[in-house]
Structure 1
Amino acid sequence: METATKSRAPHLSDTQRLAWLRLIRSENVGPRTFRELFNHFGSAQAALDALPELSRRGGKKTYRLFSMDKAEAELASLYKMGARLVAMGEPAYPPLLRHIDAPPPLLAVRAREPLQQELTGTQKTLAIIGARNCSVAGAKFATKLAGDLSAEGFTIISGLARGIDSAAHQAALASGTIAAFAGGIDTIYPKENMELFAKMIAANGAAISEMPMGWNPRARDFPRRNRLISGMSLGVILIEAAEKSGSLHTARYALEQNREILAVPGSPLDPRSVGANKLIQQGAALIQSTDDILEIMEPKISMSLPLHQGIDEPAISWPAQDQADVDETSNPLNAKEQDRQAVIDALSETPIDQDELLRFTGVTLQTLQLILLEIELAGRLERHKPNKLSLIHSGRA
């Protein structure tokens, strides 16, 4: 089934890939906004053409489009270092990642051909994460789990951090392991893991990133990276996660994405085990051996996507060819000024549910989506989970 799906999967043309890259790199466009724009206008290029006017309607006089020169330069830099840009829906795009909330439309993928597609296209994946300042016992257990699971055919995913991440990657070298980056695909972090990363690529490993080339990771980028780690995985295994560690961010994403959460218990006297122990109290599976993991994951491996009810196929029309025409009745290209003002007046700094906003204003869903795009591209809209919206204070815009 999966092979047949891959064989029918479309590929972007060079022109389309550049348009996708320009759109996701343009001002105030993130994965969710990309999807809304794409669905509304029918293609990335049509959305690009509309961005300046949309932003102007939203209240922003000048808008920064990502230039064609910069897009071509980024692609050239990727190819030069042996990486490429993979679009959601293409065969090399991680299949599980496609089913998370707001998946990245484009991923930079670096791997040794021809294993690139084989690695990122696998569905038998597990993440192993944990403390950077791990104990010897924690690193030893991570090494054993990663080695055993690799021998069982799992691809191990982690974040190339110190400690548990490094131990897991090292143990999975022979069968292939994937690192998710918080910075650009050319930015190895921490620097001390450059040798480990070189070994990963030389063997059967891969790295992915949604950030631009040359991007140095900031603190806020790591949670964004963590959603990729859990999103690519059937389950997330935590070893020595402190109470406020980044590993717990990954566990929260795993919960939202309906992934399995597995935690290794630790001493209540060790602060590095507080987070993992609390997860177990809250219902995470308690793991003491590889057999525990295999028993829990066996039913998940053969499940068809989506993994559970509640994970929907992203609402993005992914055409092999751009849609030449847009139905202006179902997807209006402009909104009436009174509708726009009604939506803006109804919004405030207090989050409101989108469905409630729709009922209150009385506009059509398509008109509301267009107006929200205008406000968001102007940098005036903030989205909150699960489906709430608020205006950003003018001092923060």
Structure 2
Amino acid sequence: MADGSARQTGIALTDRQRISWLRLIRSDNVGPHTFRDLITHCGSAENALAMLPELSARGGATRSIRIATASEAERELEAAHKHGARFIGIGEPYYPPALRQLDGAPPLLAVKGNLHAATQPSVGLVGSRNASIAGAKFAATVARECGRAGYTVTSGLARGIDTAAHRASLDTGTIAVLAGGLDQPYPPENIALLDEITDGVGLAVSEMPFGWEPRARDFPRRNRLIAGISLGVVVVEAAERSGSLITARLAAEAGRLVFAVPGSPLDPRCHGTNGLLKQGAIVTTGSRDVIDALAPLSEIDVPAPPVVEEPDKNASAMLPPNDDDRMKITSALGPTPVEIDDIIRHTGLAPSSVYLALLELDLAGRLHRHANGLVSIAMED
């Protein structure tokens, strides 16, 4: 059982590093995977920023890559400060420990509220926006009792089940993951709830820039964070093809436990959860089902990763692939996602050459990254 003690591990970034990290992640074609690969190859975010034009050009970019400026990063840091928020790096204290282990975890998170909430073991709780009275009541009961057992409750601030879960865990700790910037909460009617969360023992989290208004395609990104922060995700009332099922799938892909509450086959809001049960989700008829299943996981300390930056690393020590090698790698790729190890075996090239060539293609906007580390070529129009 979770004991409720906060665990803070990691090494803090310097102010200069934080600005460089923010510039890098806000630059064109740099996502979490690319950020990590750039740090590995270049040794630091500062070095990576200097090398972006050359790397993207080698990948076949047809125009100059846009690099976020220091003044842009400083303005966003100032906006965070005015909003009572801050940015936390993946290797720093108060970065959610379970999220660190997620493939493609955000290198920086904007957070506001009680930072200790991020260090507690967490359970995700999601479901229908058009929740039934019974569904909302059940979600609140699970959230309240999981909170008393020492877990924070993570959800997406949406109407219905999310709202019930957040409200029921206000006193024990809840994490609201936003699809837009921390200053652009959605839906508007939950702004007061978000204030209650951040003014109390809870936390608001986002990987998006301040001022970013959430769009439809931003919500799956939010769902990925809910799954990553949580040791397990409970789904209460989810229709077929709902966002909650996306969260459940992402949780399963990340190795998290997936719980589903059975419901009437006559209620469309339960078709998704009943489908999850057919696929092997844990049958959940009470909070004890969740607490007992998560207890062994919550007792495992998740170590902080090593410091990501190695400023003294000689980035020029790794020679770039030649044009023939790049052609082999590009020709081996197609629209179907493949494993990078298969590319290495197929081409017979050194892993370092393959990874660097893929990084170049990524920065040039010519590579798609998929779940489980798969990649494919971006087909030209």
Q: Does 1:339 align with 2:325?
A: yes
Task: Give the length in aligned residue pairs.
Answer: 377
Judge conservation of contact 1:39–1:317 (CA < 8 Å) in 2. Answer: no
How far the C-alpha of 1:244 sits from its partner, in A, is 1.1
**Superposition RMSD in Å:** 1.9
C-alpha spacing 1:283/1:348, structure 2 compared with 1 (3 Å): closer
- SS of alignment partner, residue 176 of structure 2: strand
Structure 2: distance between partners of 1:162 and 1:272: 14
Judge conservation of contact 2:41–2:315 (CA < 8 Å) in 1. Answer: no
Q: Does 1:164 align with 2:161?
A: yes
C-alpha spacing 1:387/1:235, structure 2 compared with 1 (3 Å): closer
TM-score by length of 1: 0.90
How far the C-alpha of 1:44 sits from its partner, in A, is 0.6
- 2:312 corresponds to which residue? 324
**Does 346-355 or 165-174 show the bigger shift?**
346-355
Matches within 5 A, 1:373-384: 373-384=359-370
Matches within 5 A, 1:60-209: 60=61, 61-111=63-113, 115-116=114-115, 118-122=116-120, 124-209=121-206
Q: Does 1:367 align with 2:353?
A: yes
Judge conservation of contact 2:128–2:238 (CA < 8 Å) in 1. Answer: yes
- 1:26 corresponds to which residue? 27
Structure 2: distance between partners of 1:210 and 1:75: 13
Judge conservation of contact 2:154–2:174 (CA < 8 Å) in 1. Answer: yes
Structure 2: distance between partners of 1:84 and 1:349: 39
How far the C-alpha of 1:390 sits from its partner, in A, is 2.1
Q: Does 1:385 align with 2:371?
A: yes
Structure 2: distance between partners of 1:327 and 1:198: 45
Q: Does 1:351 align with 2:333?
A: no
How far the C-alpha of 1:392 sits from its partner, in A, is 1.2
Q: Which has the higher contact order (CA 8 A, sep 6+)?
A: 2
C-alpha spacing 1:353/1:287, structure 2 compared with 1 (3 Å): closer
- Structure 2 spans left out of the alignment, 5+ residues: none
- 1:310 corresponds to which residue? none
- Structure 1 spans left out of the alignment, 5+ residues: 307-312
C-alpha spacing 1:128/1:3, structure 2 compared with 1 (3 Å): closer
C-alpha spacing 1:358/1:143, structure 2 compared with 1 (3 Å): same
Structure 1: distance between partners of 2:6 and 2:125: 30
Question: What is the percent sequence identity of the aligned residues?
Answer: 47
How far the C-alpha of 1:344 sits from its partner, in A, is 2.2
- 1:47 corresponds to which residue? 48
How far the C-alpha of 1:317 sits from its partner, in A, is 5.1
Judge conservation of contact 2:59–2:363 (CA < 8 Å) in 1. Answer: yes
How far the C-alpha of 1:229 sits from its partner, in A, is 0.5
Structure 2: distance between partners of 1:386 and 1:199: 37
